[in-house]
Amino acid sequence: MKQTPEEDVPFRRTLGLTVGALGVVFGDIGTSPLYAMRESALALGGHAASAFAVYGAVSLIFWTLIVVVSIKYVGFIMRADNNGEGGVMALAALAHRSPVNRKIKTAIGIAALMGLALFYGDGMLTPAISVLSAVEGLGASESFRAWILPITLIILVGLFLVQNRGTEKIGKVFGPVMVLWFIILAVLGAIAIMRHPQIIAAANPMYAIRLFALEPWTAFVALGSVVLAVTGCEALYADMGHFGSRAIRWAWVYFAFPALVLNYFGQGALLLADPKAAPFLFYALVPGWLHYPMVALATIATIIASQAVISGVFSITRQAVQLGQLPRMEIRHTSASEMGQIYVPKSNALLAVGVVLIVLIFKTSDSLAAAYGIAVTGVMVISTALVAVVARYRWRWKTPAVLAVFGVLGLIDLAFMGSNALKIVQGGWLPLAVAGATFIVMDTWRMGRRIHLEAMRDNALALDLFLERADKFSQRIAGTAVFLSTRTDVVPNAMLHSLKHYKVLHERVVICSVSVADKPVVPRAKRVTVSKLGKGFFAVRISYGFFETPDIPAALADARAQGLALEPDATTYFLGRETLVPGNEPSMKRWRVALYMWLASNALSPARFYHLPPGRVVELGTQVSI
């Protein structure tokens, strides 16, 4: 897919993408004012925050937005695009292509797995805390307080139930709604600032520095709440392929950042006037007549933020499946025109169950705030480390420059992560548990798949030896047989079993291998490579990017240009179905073997995953010991 240079994109198109980015990219970070300032003020000053604590909290949030989002993500990380795409997987693939030694490449692979796992942990918490914090605005009335939890659960369950319909229609209103949300954030903040303009002094970083100088432990602990202001910053990079870096930068610099700053400063100004307003700080900014409409708008905004995270989980699940980090699973396209509009039923079900349980366990956004943040900071640390590798080996930065820039940014990330680590016993264990379980599943699948393939290769027959004698022990029949195989230089097991049972070969035999490149998208012109082996045999290599969903019949149709024309009604696809059994001396621990066998048994069949025509597929079984 050829990328259009951003400087050639018309202004109106960029403006439209900017509005779209506000709806998708900035939903999470845009709804952080619902709880971030409140939690930071409470962490620094208790229920009645002092002026010193207020100035310190506002200063910390302000400079965190500048350093972490504006400098780190917008200034540096968004430069590390993988063919226009972003996200932890794209960044890891870019770093992996750097000229580094094997140990560093292994570390990059582990970091990518950890980033994926932490993203899943964050993906469960974001919908829960966002929607719950918005609905809690009903708590201003005693009669509504008992309805907060049921209404939150109804909204969340409904959100997951409509995922199979896709987000194309509702996505059209995401941008305008978030534009309205940011405008109201800015207006409410500006009104409060005009009443107490002295809060503007908090822009001076000395307030944050003094906080660490006079009360270092309190300030360090408060970082665990301050980081809530930048949750969702990873989306700026992850969604770069959908909107382009220019649109995302415009949306941040000219719209989201000013609105957030005004609102946080406005909340600080309100705290100076009424320190006891901290528990309901965000809604305390809202005039009484606008309270319930604002609750409704905040709820819609948090639904949008949740939708963006859910879509992100679907996208990263597809990438993990394509790269062999997770078993094959059903991936449905919900749009005929947008490649990124997908629905993953298993991921949706797991997310739905996890989010509902989280809301039932924690019950309030205050309790959830203790669990929120550690997964976010973990991804931040990983992103900084990976982009440092890219800067050193691909951008050709000198080592001192890399250490000076990314060393400082890494220390800041580690400070945030260290502060959040203090909250593990209060609920931070939850995203770590989700991430740990996800990591174990992915690591077991990756390890088991390698052992599985090695066991099959040990008994493989070299294809060139087979071709020498192919005509001597088999008859040829009309038609084309396509055998799926991980390699094109050995005889697929399915072919050997077919010969054993039927004693014939088709007049044309295609050995088809599918691989996933370490880039988001492979151009269609480079997707298929056909090699003529003689005696009616062809080796076909099909390559996809990790953002794409494989479709073998569609890819084979493109092989016509290289001399291989397949008639769909005369083509049969042969697949090998392996029955796994534990070996006497398993290569993994027995619990891992059992887990891998369970994952393999529940994986989507290759016929459905590769979109093979159901009436043209033959499966031949064999037993494999691992």
Which residues of the chain does CATH 1.20.1740.10 include? 6-429
CB 546 within 8 A of CB 323: yes
DSSP 489: S
Give 354-383 pLDDT, tens digit per residue: 999 999 998 888 888 878 888 889 999 999
Q: What is the pLDDT of residue 172?
A: 64
Environment class of 552 (CB within 10 Å of its CB; exposed 0-12, middle 13-18, buried 19+): buried
Give 498-522 pLDDT, tens digit per residue: 888 888 889 999 999 999 987 888 9
**Containing H/E element for 416?**
helix 399-421
Q: What is the pLDDT of residue 8?
A: 52
Q: Which CATH number applies to 6-429: 1.10.600.10, 3.40.50.970, 1.20.990.10, 1.20.1740.10?
A: 1.20.1740.10
Q: What is the pLDDT of residue 397?
A: 94
Q: What is the DSSP string of 556-599?
A: HHGGGGGT----GGGEEEEEEEEEEE--SS-SS-HHHHHHHHHH
Distance of CA 483 to the CA centre of its chain: 33
Range with top average pLDDT, 214-218, 308-312, 380-384: 380-384
**Distance in angstroms (rounded) separating the CA atoms of residues 297 and 5:** 36
Nearest alpha carbon to residue 485 among 510, 516, 464: 510
Nearest alpha carbon to residue 575 among 620, 514, 509: 620
Task: Classify the phi-psi angles of 93: left when phi > 0, otherwise alpha if psi is within -120 to 50, otherwise beta.
Answer: alpha
SS3 553: helix
pTM, two decimal places: 0.84
Q: What is the mean pLDDT of residues 448-468?
A: 84
Q: Cα separations (Å) of 306 from 30, 174, 351, 444? A: 12, 12, 11, 29
Mean pLDDT of the chain: 87
Instruction: Please report which residue ranges of 196-278 form alpha helices under DSSP H.
Output: 206-214, 216-226, 234-238, 240-243, 245-251, 257-273
pLDDT band at 345 (very low <50, low <70, confident <90, very high): very high
Phi, psi of 380 (to 5 degrees): -60, -45
Give 577-609 pLDDT, tens digit per residue: 888 888 777 778 889 999 999 999 999 999 999
CB 507 within 8 A of CB 477: yes
